[in-house]
Structure 1
Amino acid sequence: MRALLTYMILVSVFFSCKKGEKKENLPPDTFISVDKINLSGDDRLNSSVQLQWFGSDQDGYVQEYELSIDGGNEWFRTKSQDSLFIFSIESGSDTVDVEFRVRAIDNEDSVDPSPAALSIPIKNTAPSVLFKSDLMPQDTVFSVATISWEASDFDGNETIDRAFIKVNEGSWYPLDRKVSTISLVAIDPLGTGAQEAYVYTDVNAPLSESITGFRLEDTNRVYVKVEDIAGSESTIDTSEIFYVKNQKTDILVIAANPDGDAFYRANLDAVTTGYDYINYYTNAGQNQPKFWNITFNLMINLYDVLVIYTENSIFEDAQTKQDRLLLESAAPSLQSFFDSNGKLLCSAIFPNDFSSESSLFQTLPMDRLTEAAGGTAILGFDSLVNPQFSAYDTLQPSEFLTGLDPFYPTADAEAIYRADLEIVAPWTGPDIIAARRKPDGKVKQIFFSVEMHKLNGRQNAMRDLFDQIMNTDFNW
């Protein structure tokens, strides 16, 4: 009897474990790290919310999830278990309850039939905006006003929809939310009073619509505000008052050499009928543009002729915070000016540690300086600076000059002055101190690597040189 019972048990076990019988797959379970958010009124969350979720599966594993933010009408797949959500609020409303759902999917593609749910009470927070005071126009600007601001939104900067600018009593001007710097150039830069202005976000071309309210030869104030996707506006920020000078002639003089300022102005006064003048040296460079590649570029391209005289002082670039020569900050804009057939007369000197990688090489008709270490090049009182073309007068120093920067011209340039240098060994190098570029037979650039006001030793020679350059070389 005992043997028969044992046999029956074995047969029962055998038939209950038949090969090939598959156990039914169990769906996964899903959980959100927060069960409920009991907030209302001002205590509601802002529209940027971090959420976490997870899943479990009794007979397998969770391979991904589906999310819904509209109560389960539309689902999105993800393998992530957390995310930062930027929820949108319809225009005209400042609150909404987001119905969040998440459901796990296991390794056999079985979906949790009862998704985890969470109602998220959110409110919109108005954005904010402020002008960048260190990059804004201060006191006086010349023809071009560049405006810069920074906007933010506690709900996430992605929720900012657009910005608006207003000039004086003009109309609000809408801008894409990605724009945070613009330059204003009067449609008639020679005019005065209120008029419309072109709006530039870069130097290529203005936006299709002009802005109203801009004033030349008068004070200006600018206003900014931003709006988010829910239609909430920031508080308006207001700029300091600044004065905008207009363009008066087709010649612009950039002064950055206080020792020679009177000399250059006297010679220019004698051979021209007038010019616009900006001093970039005074008050530690206060008049220098905050945005060289935008403001300076747009400004100089209003002119036909540009005269720059500078020494070797180093200035901090307000935008990049880099210390460099004034001409190095100007170099990209100068190239644009040349490409537009602008004409340049430039006199400059360089520091002893001037980099051979400087952007000024090739921008100016200067390929390189000497690479000799030690010694110096001297130009004495009795030395001559010899013209290479009969149209130019012989020059002579008005003082003893040492530490000069003769240079090798670029392949597309030609020397116009060579100096009778006295050499202190081991210095070696070229004797060229001035060169010009003359593409298509027209002089576009004349560059001196010696301060021109220190070559005023021969009576009337420098005056004749200025007359030749301004009224013959550049008269095309």
Structure 2
Amino acid sequence: MIRLLLVLISALLLFACTEDAVNNPVGNQPPNTGLFLYPDSTIAPQPSRLRVHWWGDDSDGLIAGFYINWNNSSWDFTPSNDSLFALKIGANDTTYNLKVSAADDQGNNKFDEQIIRNAIDFGPEPFIDENGNGIYDDGEFFYDIGLIDPTPAEFNFPLKNSAPTIDWNELSFVPDTSFPVMSFSWIADDIDGEETIISINIALNDTLNPDNIIELDGEVRTITIRTDDFTAQNPLMEILIEGQENNIHPEPLPGLVFDDFNFFYVQAEDISGAKSNFIRLPESTPGDQWYVNKPSGTFLVIDDYGVNDGAQSFYANMFDSLGLTGNYDVYDIRNLEPPFKNVTFLETIKLFDYLFWYTDNNPSLDLASFSTQKYLTRGGKLAYSMQFPQTIDPVELQSFIPIISDSIDVNVSLLPGTEISSDTTDNTYPNLELTLNVFRVKSFYLNPLAANPIYYYPNGELKGFTGFTNSEVTQFFIALPLDRCNGGEGNVKQLFEKVLFEDFGLVP
């Protein structure tokens, strides 16, 4: 009897408990979330590339995906369990905060335009936009979001700012001596990302006076500085960004000293105000120097002559005899070749109104081709005494002298006494005669629309013309060394008087 009573009581209790569980179900529970860094990830003073792994646990269902939030910004959905992030430094040492909340799949079996969970608006349910129209269309797959973890997994990632670095581009140097034109190039970097460099600071000679430092955009890596103000001992320098005439920095660079040694400094600065050390050219290597000459006048002699045979003395004496002593300058482009030579050379010769360019058999044709027409276009006037190597590119020559490119005549050598005449072309130019052998001599047929023929070989040593001007008479060219053309009546002085004074208008 007692046993039967116990069985009945147990049955009643079981029925009561079962009925309570059915009438009062527990309901869907939100998932839990965890996260950790992969072992090969690092948190370092750099744009840290961090692979973060997370997981979700749902006791009564499946995980649909995860919502991610950086620094309390918007929440983004991902179905993945990990991702690679690049965290970049800000204006100061920075801490990034990451929150991850798992979402279960116990949704309402329809697409929702708005999901609000835990008082947070997560936006519409994530979906796969198969037609790319940016909105959900019936039939497209969507993640049916149920509950979202109200206590996200959270991690702080501290990043420490590092100062930028700067070094000279391997092509950047300064010659011993120059006129007030020079180009500089550097390499700037920052472990926090090159884009964090917001300014490049440059200076001449003095980095202690803040008024002497000019701030350039952080992306600038190459400049050319120049001045044509020769009235001041300390002129202001124009700054050509990337050497471009149409991109001149609005603020000039002070600090240059004429007829003295100078130093150029550059520094990188990042968004936080951290600065690299200043680097300078010339560097501290013994013997390195950069002396800046103030031009003496408007006439420049370009010495493109590497042979020690007395040519330099001949021209120095010749220009002295013309009354130009102290009123012209010499630019030795063999021994004082500038960096980034095309733009630096062009900006240098533009400081002068008149040029005489003499060469040996290895002329700087690249410079002549690049600069001649640009110089003439801006109003300059230029005379050449040019020799050539055995082989030349006639198209390159045609780029700076008015010749027909496929009409070059060649003679291996000419003897002393060879006559060069202008009798039947323009006898206002004096006849010339060689005093020494000349080798690898060339003559040309001219473009009749662009050239005035002057000098030829009356005895037929070469066909065509060896001397001529352009049609505007702003360019004179002779394919001979004038220091070896002063035989007979010694007419080279008369030729210079004709070309420089009469044709070009140079005033001695």
Q: Same fold (TM over 0.5)?
A: yes
SS for the counterpart of 1:404 is strand
SS in 1 for 2:436: coil
Match of 2:418 among 367, 376, 383: 383
- How far residue 330 of structure 1 moved from its aligned partner, in angstroms, is 4.2
SS in 2 for 1:85: strand
Higher-strand-fraction structure: 1
Identity %: 24
Is residue 381 of structure 2 the alignment partner of residue 343 of structure 1? yes
**Distance 1:472-1:231 versus aligned 2 partners, 3 A rule:** same
1:177-326, aligned counterparts within 5 Å? Answer: 177-186=218-227, 188-192=229-233, 194-201=234-241, 202-205=243-246, 206-240=248-282, 241-257=289-305, 258=307, 259=309, 260-273=311-324, 274-281=327-334, 285=335, 287-313=336-362, 325-326=363-364
Deviation, 1:472, is 0.2
Range moving further from structure 2, 334-343 or 178-187: 178-187
Cα shift at 1:377:
5.5
Please give the alpha-carbon distance, in whole angstroms, between the structure 2 residues aligned to 1:446 and 1:288.
24
Instruction: Say whether residues 1:354 and 2:357 are aligned partners.
Output: no
Question: Match for 1:158 among 195, 211, 217?
Answer: 195
> How has the CA–CA distance of structure 1 residues 101 and 224 changed in structure 2, closer, same or farther, with 3 Å as cutoff?
farther
SS at match of 1:432: coil
Q: Indicate the residue corresponding to 1:14 in structure 2.
A: none
- The reply on whether 1:475 has 2:505 as its aligned counterpart is yes
| Structure exhibiting the larger radius of gyration computed from Cα positions | 2
Q: Does 1:453 align with 2:483?
A: yes
Taking the aligned partners of 1:310 and 1:288, their CA distance within structure 2 comes to 15
Mapped to 1, the partners of 2:79 and 2:493 lie a distance apart of 77
- Match of 2:202, SS state, is strand
Which residue does 2:405 correspond to in 1?
A: 368
C-alpha RMSD of the superposition: 3.8
Q: Check 1:74–1:145 CA distance in 2 against 1; reply closer, same or farther (3 A cut).
A: farther
* CA distance 1:85–1:379, change in 2 (3 Å): same
Query: What SS class does the counterpart of residue 199 from structure 1 fall into?
Result: strand
SS at match of 1:296: helix
Supply the AA of the counterpart residue of 2:414.
L
CA shift for structure 1 position 154: 1.5
C-alpha displacement of 1:99: 2.8
TM-superposed CA distance for 1:134, in Å, is 5.1
2:78 is the counterpart of 1:73: no
Structure 2 match to 1:48: 47
Report the counterpart of residue 96 of structure 1 in structure 2: 95
User: Residue 419 of structure 1: SS of its match in structure 2?
Assistant: coil
Deviation at 1:453, TM superposition (A): 1.8
Q: 1:292 to 1:272 in 2, by over 3 A?
A: farther
Structure 2 SS opposite 1:45 = coil
Asked if the contact 2:408/2:443 (under 8 Å) is kept, the reply is: no
Instruction: Give unmatched runs, 5+ long, in structure 2.
Output: 1-31, 57-63, 104-125, 129-140, 283-288
Could you state the TM-score of these two structures normalised by the residue count of structure 1? 0.75
Which contiguous aligned blocks of 4+ residues in structure 1 show a shift greater than 4 angstroms? 29-33, 35-39, 51-57, 64-68, 74-79, 81-84, 100-106, 111-118, 369-372
